[in-house]
Amino acid sequence: MPTNSPPSENKCKPHGRSIWLKRRLLPGALSLLLGAIAGSGCHSSDSGSELTRADAGGGSAGLDGGSLIVGEPDAAAQAGQAGASSSGSGECTELSGLGDCGTTTLRAEHDIASILLVLDKSGSMVDQPDGFSLDKWDALKTALDAALHKVEGEINFGLVLYPFAADHAIPADCGSECCALPTGALAVNVPIEPGAGVDKVLDAVNAAEPSGGTPTAAALASALQYFTVGAGAAIQGQKYVLLATDGGPNCNADNTCDAAHCTQNLDGQCASGNCCAKSAQNCLDDVNVVTQIKGLADAGVSTFVVGIPGTEKYAEFLDTFAVNGGVPNPDAPPSYYAVSAKGGVQGLVDVFTGITTHLVRDCNVALENTPKNLDLINVAVNCQVIPYANGAGWSITGDDQKTLVIAGDVCQTIQTNGAERVDVVYGCPTVR
């Protein structure tokens, strides 16, 4: 472990500062913006140097001249000896592994994630599966309304609908417009806008009517363009695509396929032979979808994949999409978020709500200041201290030593299942 002072051999009972973040967000990697960790030494409670918050109105905590800007100035400061636990208000009564080393809990400011919803509004979305009280499109609207409002202000949303025509509604008998999708900025129905996305997204969805084919790859390509060279490239923080579809992707006129990869055949809409022999745009376009999802991943945008009833025949392909998207279902199999007809409309609501309210943490934590003594740093996940273990559990990296990196199995758990809290504690000898 890098250190800028000799390893501490002090046996006193130091009091530490715990800086934490609690967010209801998506599974996967999101940024934790933590405040200062400053100062050095071991401060006993009778020394007058216990690390505590400043007065409630000040919104900062002092430590040898250091300061922490907190998101909630009146967050409670609490030291306890009651064992390792996290209260409903998000406070560890004690960080397990630090014994009676006291802690002060503060809530820090944090980044807000951005999600571009990429929603399939093909003609099959008017179907009503057994077990559903609504057709799939109305069920989707119900699920979005329930899920998005719950995280309004915590996640910024945008929208891409497909297929879609910019200046008119695609008719039910879509003809040459079955695979329509505008290019450039027009392909994004609702750009991601901080603090104002939910109502605009819902208004756009409510105004749309299902029709046409399933140009999933083209819609994802529009999302990739938006996040790389469009307005979305300037968005700060973690970025996501949430793809929701009820069938296999098609609409690639340059494609060719056998009957086993023809969506008409797979959907039971072909009487005999290969119905894609004369209609190549109905060939399964899974390879192109994977290419776009990988492109998004390379650009730092992870993709959630939700399969609405009708995708059962395409489960293996949706699994591949989800794995390449980087945020697969933590309860796999399947790797995508599957909505069964048996679960009804509530099943779809639960999937969207579960994704958008899931707790997440990034394994890379930005520290505002460089710690003065790296032998007095500890890291805890869900109130359990993670041993340093020669960098295998966590490390402080970067030329300025201002990046905390959580490693190994703990990082994997954080990224796939989320964590209720991550604490960085200063003032206690490092647990190794």
In the prediction, which pLDDT does 304 show?
A: 94
The answer to whether 265 and 275 are in contact (CB under 8 A) is: yes
* Residue 32: pLDDT over 50: no
The answer to whether 130 and 216 are in contact (CB under 8 A) is: no
Query: Residues of the chain with pLDDT > 90: what percent?
Result: 40
Count Cβ atoms within 10 A of the Cβ of residue 148 and give its class: 0-12 exposed, 13-18 middle, 19 or more buried: buried
Does one domain contain both 310 and 188? yes
Does one domain contain both 212 and 310? yes
Domain of 222, CATH number, reads: 3.40.50.410
pLDDT, one tens digit per residue, over 350-402 is 888 877 765 444 677 767 777 778 888 888 887 888 899 887 899 888 788 87
* Domain annotation covers residue 54: yes
* Domain annotation covers residue 279: no
Task: Residue 253: count other Cβ atoms within 10 Å of its Cβ.
Answer: 10
Residue by residue, DSSP assigns 281-345 as: GGB--HHHHHHHHHHHHHTTEEEEEEE-TT-GGGHHHHHHHHHHHB---TTPSSSSEE--GGGHH
Question: Which has the higher per-residue pLDDT, 215 or 415?
Answer: 215
Closest CA to 196 of 164, 241, 256, 148: 148
Does one domain contain both 332 and 391? no
Does one domain contain both 368 and 235? no
* Residue 48: pLDDT over 50: no
* Residue 320: pLDDT over 90: yes
Q: What is the mean pLDDT of residues 18-27?
A: 37
Question: Which has the higher per-residue pLDDT, 97 or 39?
Answer: 97
Whether the bond between 129 and the residue before it is cis, its omega within 30 degrees of 0, is no
Q: What is the mean pLDDT of residues 397-422?
A: 77
Q: Which helix (H) or strand (E) holds 15?
A: strand 15-20
Can you say whether the dihedral through the CA atoms of 117, 122, 128, 129 is positive or negative? negative
> What's the rounded Cα separation, in Å, for the pair 346 and 344?
5
Can you say whether the dihedral through the CA atoms of 145, 131, 243, 354 is positive or negative? positive
Does one domain contain both 46 and 159? no
> What's the rounded Cα separation, in Å, for the pair 257 and 318?
18
Does one domain contain both 41 and 161? no
Residue that terminates a domain, selected from 330, 357, 384? 357
Does one domain contain both 101 and 144? no
Residue that terminates a domain, selected from 327, 357, 387? 357
Sheet with strand 394-397: strands edge to edge: 32-33, 364-366, 403-406, 394-397
Distance of CA 79 to the CA centre of its chain: 32
* Domain annotation covers residue 277: no
* Residue 216: pLDDT over 80: yes
In the prediction, which pLDDT does 370 show?
A: 79
* Residue 212: pLDDT over 90: yes
The answer to whether 160 and 361 are in contact (CB under 8 A) is: no
* Domain annotation covers residue 8: no
Does one domain contain both 399 and 412? yes
In this structure, the chain runs to a length of 432
Instruction: Give the CA distances from residue 158 to residues 24, 162, 193, 353, 398, in Å, rounded to whole numbers and listed in that order.
Output: 18, 14, 7, 17, 34
Does one domain contain both 321 and 387? no
- For 430, residues 6+ apart whose C-beta sits below 8 A from its C-beta are 1, 8, 374, 375, 376, 377, 378, 388
Q: pLDDT class for 146, splitting at 50, 70, 90?
A: confident
* Domain annotation covers residue 60: yes
* Residue 200: pLDDT over 90: yes
* Domain annotation covers residue 1: no
Residue that terminates a domain, selected from 357, 391, 411? 357
The answer to whether 165 and 197 are in contact (CB under 8 A) is: no
Closest CA to 352 of 176, 157, 162, 104: 157
* Domain annotation covers residue 3: no
Does one domain contain both 204 and 353? yes
Place of tokens 């959630």: 304
> What's the rounded Cα separation, in Å, for the pair 82 and 103?
12
In the prediction, which pLDDT does 51 show?
A: 25
Does one domain contain both 172 and 198? yes
**Single pTM value for the model:** 0.66
Q: 417 lies in which domain range?
A: 15-21+36-107+361-426
* Domain annotation covers residue 305: yes
> What's the rounded Cα separation, in Å, for the pair 258 and 95?
60
- Split into its structural domains, the chain has a count of 2
Q: What is the mean pLDDT of residues 225-242?
A: 92
Whether the bond between 7 and the residue before it is cis, its omega within 30 degrees of 0, is no
The answer to whether 378 and 365 are in contact (CB under 8 A) is: no
* Residue 55: pLDDT over 80: no
- For 150, residues 6+ apart whose C-beta sits below 8 A from its C-beta are 24, 353, 356, 357
Q: What is the DSSP letter of 398?
A: T
Q: pLDDT class for 251, splitting at 50, 70, 90?
A: very high
In the prediction, which pLDDT does 196 show?
A: 63
In the prediction, which pLDDT does 293 show?
A: 98
Does one domain contain both 295 and 366? no
